[in-house]
Amino acid sequence: MDEMRLYFKATRTHVWSPLGQTPIITVHPKRDSCSFYGALNLQTGQAIASRAPTQNSEITANFIMQLLMIYSGRPMLLLLNRASWHYGDVRELIEITDRLEVMYFPTACPDLNP
C-alpha cells in the first residue's frame, strides 16, 4: 500500500490561435494537488487505487478498511514507510484487526520501498 500526491503546475508552451485572437489561459497561483491511495496484490497483480482529498491517518485507515472488505477473510501484510499518516488511526485499526500484519520500512530508506 502507498499513497501519492500530484501537484498541478502551469508550464510555458506554444499554442496555435487565429491571427489577432490571443488565447487567454487562466493560471491559478495556488499550488493545487490531488492525492491517491493504492495497493497491489502481489499474488494476482491486481492494483486498487482510490482518489483522496488529502493524506492523513483517518483517510489512510479508511483505505485499509476498504482493502479489508475487498479481501474479506484473508490475512494482509502491509509494507509501510514511516509517514506521519501511517500512525494514529492506522495504529488503532491495526490493534483491533487480527488479519493485518504490518512491516515498517526503516527511516530514510526509499530504496527499500518497492
pLDDT (tens digit per residue) in 34-87: 899 999 898 899 999 999 998 999 999 999 999 999 999 899 998 888 888 888
According to DSSP H, which parts of 2-78 are helical? 57-70
pTM for the whole thing?
Answer: 0.75
Which class in CATH covers the domain with range 2-10+23-112? alpha beta
What residues does each domain of the chain span?
2-10+23-112
Reference 83, options 49, 54, 42; nearest CA is 54
Would you state the pLDDT for residue 114?
63
What is the DSSP secondary structure assignment for residue 86, as one 8-state letter? G
Residue type for position 29 = P
